[in-house]
Amino acid sequence: MKFKHISGGITAVPGFLASGVHAGLKKEKLDMAVIYNPKQCSAAGVFTTNVVKAAPLLLTMDRLAKGYSHGVVVNAGNANACNGPNGMEDAKAMASAAAKELGIDEEQMLVSSTGVIGEPMPMDIVLPGVIKATKELSKDGGQAAAEAIMTTDLVLKESAVKLQLAGKTVTIGGLAKGSGMIHPNMATMLGFIATDAVIGPETLKKALKEVVDSTYNMITVDGDTSTNDSVVMLASGDAGNTSIEHGTEEYNVFLQGLTEVCTKLAQDIAKDGEGATTLLEVVVKNAPTIIDARKAAKAVVGSNLFKCAVYGRDANWGRILCAVGYSGAQFNPNEVDIYIGELQVAENGGALPFDEEKASAILGKDKVTVTVDLKTGDHSATAWGCDLTYKYVEINGSYRT
């Protein structure tokens, strides 16, 4: 590997500024963020597959079609979703307010929102908050921005790496939010990634989509996909490397670094699942295709029955095999081996005698890895999720109140 992890998040990338402020959408916590680079950046995004899409997401999708942007303004506390024509006008007003303060074309400012669906945006609070956030932009503002986009999250989610490309140092950093309504095909999450690499919009889009498929699209908390899910990436080109082209060695190195950043953020989202006590990692190996491996891994990590078993520290491996069976993956049920941690609990699709107390102790750890060996090919995939607890119901039974 030609990269190393560094402290910080999005503002660990030279040239990028960020801020997080309290506008008033929440009672006390930070709720408005701006991420910005004075230089026009290559830009790309990946968005929810939900047919119902929030106004800020639709606006950002439209503006990203041009391939360039200076930054994004983000609010928590209100999703600005299902608000009719007013929703789009409010999203545009947020971008316009930020752009005016920064002296850039408003088409170069993106918008993202997260929070309650179906409530009008209180623009008398939002617009002053946007202006306040633009005035507090700094090279040390990444952590505040990460805090400002949190909803039911309990922890900040940041990640950054440095890597070498043809003798030039390139940095990739990002932040994310997500805790509930998390499911593959873009979970209910927001992610913002920055780099100083020289890379064109089309190549950036390919790299981001490839990494999203193996990271954010491999997490689940509760099987719900929302209206605002998006990952946006900006590349300033300040590193001065030779432009990264798809299929080259430099592209592969860049992809490794981007994967490291996004894997860390994806795992943080799964670990911070609403009410969760355990990070669940499911590794499916020796599948006939990567598609089969991903289908199987996502089915296991998304099984409510198995997630409840993990919470109860019950090594009910039959639920694992059952989930693989309905996943759509191609395999022979009579060849599957299953491990909980290092403890093998099933062989060739059948029961093995194992120490139930040891298995229960493994399931009680902060992180549990389940391995499913299909023994029908050479492809592997990993998915992440969490256990399903009473606390999850408590949180979502009173989300608006």
By annotation, the residues acting in catalysis are 188
CA angle 369, 298, 327 (to 5 degrees): 120
Q: Which amino acid is located at 50 in the chain?
A: N
Q: Residue holding tokens 């699709």?
A: 349
Structural element, H or E, at residue 383:
strand 379-386
CA angle 226, 200, 256 (to 5 degrees): 70
- Secondary structure (DSSP) of 183-242: -SSS-S-EEEEEE---B-HHHHHHHHHHHHHHTGGGB-SSS---SS-EEEEEE--TT-PP
Q: Can you list the positions of beta strands (E) in 80-183?
A: 109-114, 158-165, 168-177
| CA gap 318, 338 in Å, rounded | 10
Q: Which amino acid is located at 154 in the chain?
A: L
Q: How far is CA 339 from CA 320, 327, 368, in A?
A: 10, 18, 11
Are 348 and 337 contacting, i.e. CB atoms less than 8 angstroms apart? yes
Are 196 and 13 contacting, i.e. CB atoms less than 8 angstroms apart? yes
